[in-house]
Amino acid sequence: MSRKNILLLIADDLGKQLSCYGATTIQTPSIDQLASQGTLFDYAFASTASCSGSRSVLYTGLHTHQNGQYGLASHRHHFVTFDHVDSAPRLLNQAGYRTGIIGKIHVGPDPVYPWEVRRESDTRDVAVVADQAREFFLQSQETDAQRPFFLTIGFIDPHRDRTRAGFGNDASNSYDERITPGKYTAENVEIPSFINDTPGTRHEFAEYYNSIHRLDQGVGLVLAALEDTGLADSTLVIFVSDNGPPFLNSKTTLYDAGVRLPLLIRQPSPNTTTTHAVRSPNMVSYVDILPTILDYAGAPLADATQKRIGRSLLPLLGTSTVLSGWNQAFGSHTFHEVTNYWPTRFIRTRRWKYHRNLAWRLDFPFAADLYGSLSWEDIRNSSSTSSGEEIKIGGRKLKDYFFRPAEELYDLENDPDEIHNLVNDSEYVEVLGQLRTKLDTWQRRTEDPWLYKDGVSVWFVRYHLPAGLKLPDRQDFDAERPGNRGPAIQNDLTWGAEVSVEELYE
């Protein structure tokens, strides 16, 4: 293997609706084939369930509160990554790679993400995308053979289109003849437990499945092009989604349905004739993707001052053993659309999930595509006042979805859908305290300005702490107990590199 090429495939709004992840009524043979040749991660977590933010985490190895991509990329609202942040295309350009992106980009500004070849488009014609990839592979092989490549393909599928229930399937007649339309109907889809089984939901999931069917063909065509051009045995392939399905209780939330996502990695194996599928039980994060890419490329790690906490996944590939230090993940969400301000942080262990909701007094905001969906139309009109039953979204009460408390604690062994909040249960005081402390440590390590104590950002008042300012150890200001001369947090809080990565994950 003379060159170490890298191919990053990003699906849009794809949850675990894949047959290699156990879905029973949808078939995804191309993605399954990729899984059979590499490592499938069962516990891979996005930091945020929002497209631009999640992609920025993949590209920078930084959570959104670190890299500035707080919400959806929009030049109108200037939601873009900080100018000083290093990204995968910039770092790999510096390492001598030929970098390119095809399809969806949805991060900015361009100077922070300087792909050498940019073929941005919103096409769902995955055959066209594959042809562009083939062209890139051939050029890398024939006219730029001295440089390895790093190519990202941002598929549009299975994101909703701009109709109320569509996923791009109505345009199937205009797609390349190599693409076969999906044949899923409302009768032959499985509805996950996080959303209600209604006619509108079934209709939308059928369209969603048909869009996944097209995505799967696109992945197959791209991988065939990689094979045909003789580059498969020198290319690391990573397949991932940016966030969970575009339905309530998933997309824009930090519940597992929104952030526990597919991740497949296939290492090149030029010296072997067979490969074997491995399911990894290790808990990994999207902040680990950039360190993995740099490790594989042999490129220098990014500037340590940028406070990356991600780790290379290469040591995890090919093993189904749980390794020490891979038993928790963290996440950070602040915005989706510019009007959707609702900052939340989470820590997730094998058994427990703790959410810290900073703006919990605000209603949980609607993403535009979810508000217009037929599934929400069905749910909001499903009141059965005669029976006294409350409206629910999945198993969660409607009011509990929109009006959330400051903290949420869930026992995932017994409550995988995160319905029963245990924060006020005295039996779990010790667990709650441990997770609070771990999340505090992570927020300090990543210099999160949304670490709040007594209703203020600890980051912004840190200069007053050595002078004697005391912060009560509570998230919100308490107008009934305003004093700060009782129990207070320590005034010698450490920030940044003072907390090691090893300490963080122990």
CA distance linking residue 71 with residue 84, whole number of Å: 18
Q: Which of 391, 426, 461 is the last residue of a domain?
A: 426
Q: Same domain, yes or no, for 317 and 397?
A: no
Q: How would DSSP label each residue in 202-259?
A: HHHHHHHHHHHHHHHHHHHHHHHHHHHTT-GGGEEEEEEESS--SSTTTTTS-SHHHH
Kindly state whether residue 189 falls inside one of the protein's structural domains. yes
Q: Is 372 found in the same domain as 301?
A: no
Residue ranges of the chain with pLDDT lower than 50? 1, 271-274
Q: Do 302 and 382 belong together in one domain?
A: no
Same domain, 172 and 284: yes
Per-position b or e across 333-366, b if 16+ CB within 10 A of its CB: bbbbbeebebbbbbbbbeebbbbbbbbbeeebbb
Check residue 302 and give its pLDDT: 61
Could you say which DSSP state residue 403 is in?
A: S
| Same domain, residue pair 34 and 162 | yes
Q: Is residue 94 part of a domain?
A: yes
Final residue in a domain of this structure, among 400, 426, 452: 426
The residues that bridge with 191 in the sheet, in sequence order, are: none
Task: Based on the fold, state whether residues 420 and 437 are members of the same structural domain.
Answer: no
Range of the domain at 419: 344-426
Is residue 90 included in any domain, yes or no?
Answer: yes
- CATH of residue 128's domain is 3.40.720.10
In a domain, 329, yes or no: no
Q: Report angle CA 32, 37, 40 to the nearest 5 degrees.
A: 65
pLDDT (tens digit, 9 = 90+) per residue, 452-485?
999 999 999 999 998 889 999 899 999 999 999 8
Q: Within this chain, do residues 311 and 353 fall inside the same structural domain, yes or no?
A: no
Read off φ and ψ for residue 118, nearest 5 degrees: -120, 115
Distances (CA, A) of 355 to 45, 211, 250: 14, 32, 15
Going by C-alpha positions, the residue among 425, 445, 340, 342 that lies closest to residue 66 is 445
Beta-bridged to residue 389, according to DSSP, are 384
Phi, psi of 501 (to 5 degrees): -60, -40
Please tell me whether residues 101 and 164 are part of one structural domain. Answer: yes
**CA–CA dist 221, 242 (Å, integer):** 21
CA nearest to 47, candidates 446, 398, 400, 401 = 446
Interatomic CA distance for residues 371 and 197, integer angstroms: 17
Domain boundary among 399, 426, 453: 426
- Catalytic pick among 11, 44, 51, 313: 51
Structure confidence at residue 488 (pLDDT): 77
Kindly state whether residues 190 and 268 are assigned to the same domain.
yes
* Integer Cα distance of 32 and 449 in angstroms: 41
Q: Do 397 and 451 belong together in one domain? A: no
DSSP code at position 443? H
What is this structure's pTM?
0.96
Strands (E) in 447-488, as ranges, are 452-453, 456-457
Indicate whether 164 belongs to any domain.
yes
Structural domain count, the chain: 3
Tell me if 134 is assigned to some domain: yes
Helix (H, G, I), strand (E, B) or coil at 74: strand
In a shared domain, residues 273 and 250: yes
Distance of alpha carbon 41 from alpha carbon 438, whole angstroms: 24
Does residue 151 sit within a domain?
A: yes
Please give the pLDDT value at position 384: 61
Q: Please give the span between the terminal C-alpha atoms of the chain, in angstroms, as a whole number.
A: 36
Please indicate, yes or no, whether residues 29 and 157 belong to a single structural domain of this protein.
yes
51 is catalytic: yes
User: Residue 332 domain-assigned?
Assistant: no
